[in-house]
Amino acid sequence: MSAREHKLKVGVAGVRGVVGEFLTPGLAAALAQAFGTYVGDGRVVLGRDTRPSGEMILHAVRCGLLAAGCEVVDVGILPTPTIQVYIAATGARGGIAVTASHNPPEYNALKFFNARGLFCNAYERSEIIDLWHQSAFRHASNAEMRRIGHEAEAPKRIHFDRVLAHVDVDRIRARRFRVALDAVNGAGSLLSVEFLRDRLGCELQAIAVDPTKPFPRVAEPRPDTLGDLAALVRDRSCDIGFAQDPDGDRLAVCDETGRVLDNDDVLALAVDAALSRLPGDVVVNLTTSAAIDDIAARHNRKVYRTPVGEANVVERMQAAKAVIGGEGANGGIIFPAVQYCRDSYNGMAFLLDLMASTGLKVTGLAARMPQYHRRSGNVRYQHGRLATLLQAVEAAFPDAAQDRADGLKLTWPQGWIHVRSSNTEPILRFTVESESEAEADSVFRRVQELAA
């Protein structure tokens, strides 16, 4: 397989690639026309993040949708969860978010959503991609051409109202928390300032909240990329720090000492909060910490696991009627009472409400969670080598229980390994977790050696 094929990927989150040679305006227009053909006449919601190629790809997507006879509702620069909430709330035929989420700025993508504001499922995606492959597009006549409308205020109002209905806003506002924010100059830049400062009454200390500027750090909010946020928390004596990715679906959290929490621990806190209030089980992906199982057991609930990918988790959540779910490794919290989607705003509201109700600092909240040691890494691999790598890992741990639902997950009483190919980039991801820090380090080094 050539490098060209590696740089354009069709996955559970849509079609993603490096802009220019691989993801072009022509391709974006064709994919949008295929989507418009599939969903049929009616309104399609369209929004984007702040990456430099966004406006170009947005214009192409508009053309494709109009060519298929759709009415386009352009909501501008908005977080992906806000777009999803708005699609479901307004009876649109579907929607497209032009965003490559946590990927580097040279990437962009088309994320396809159905009328319920959910990622298109495997059947829907296959139908859209088949229409694209066959160029079997609807071509609207001149008389059938629809207009482009614009809506800036309603999406955020609807989203905020849904999130804040599940926390005690007055209690949070009374605490006047000092909050640090790093919005990576992404789609949440302005929205997150309004949410935290104006709606929740926080004393906000914000960096990277200018959507006209480039991403100032690696797009994915991880402990190793959030040094500026950690310093801001310490320098301004903040109670908590929040970091988002460019489309606002992922959340990272910094405690009052400047330590960035493991994303699995952030999800664990949200799960504990939800299970304390509402009935229902939990759905997470295979890479999410066993801490979720421990928390669910405390509440006498079940945990279901799926392959990595928001669409996979959401599909199982619906089947299980789960009250909460998510993907710990990537900071994704899914709370269906608001919308079946990863949503950093749910996470921010839950954590502030927990702090307000318990009187605990973030370190105190985290100390109540089950303690595991996790290590994660990735490595680029050549096409054709994936099967060999998985076989080598399997052979190195012959006594572990195997799960091949998504790459290879090996489990033993004290821990586990999950090795899988990324859904969005040509890299191999591997995660290790153990009750023992020494075992976590040892197993992680072994997997690194095998993958090198």
Catalytic residues: 101
Cβ contact 328:289 at 8 Å: yes
Token look-up 């089950």 returns 370
Cβ contact 37:131 at 8 Å: yes
- CA dist 101 and 341 (Å) reads 13
- CA dist 107 and 423 (Å) reads 14
Alpha-carbon torsion (101, 38, 119, 74), positive or negative: positive
DSSP 120: P
How many Cβ atoms sit within 10 Å of the Cβ of residue 426? 16
Cβ contact 77:248 at 8 Å: no
- CA dist 388 and 170 (Å) reads 56
Tokens of 200: 């929740």
- CA dist 28 and 5 (Å) reads 16
- CA dist 199 and 201 (Å) reads 6
Q: Which helix (H) or strand (E) holds 327?
A: strand 324-327
Residue type, 230: A
- CA dist 411 and 407 (Å) reads 13
Phi, psi of 126 (to 5 degrees): -65, -35
- CA dist 129 and 121 (Å) reads 12
Half-sphere exposure of 436 (CA within 13 A, CB side): 10
Cβ contact 241:180 at 8 Å: yes
Chain centroid offset of residue 141 CA = 38
In sequence order, what DSSP letters do the residues of 226-288 get, joined into one string? -HHHHHHHHHTT-SEEEEE-TTS--EEEE-TTSPBPPHHHHHHHHHHHHHHHS---EEEETTS
Of 204, 208, 235, 230, the C-alpha closest to 219 is 208
Residue 73, SS3? strand
Kindly give the interhelix angle for 386-396 and 437-451, rounded to the nearest 10 degrees. 140
Q: Which helix (H) or strand (E) holds 344?
A: helix 344-358
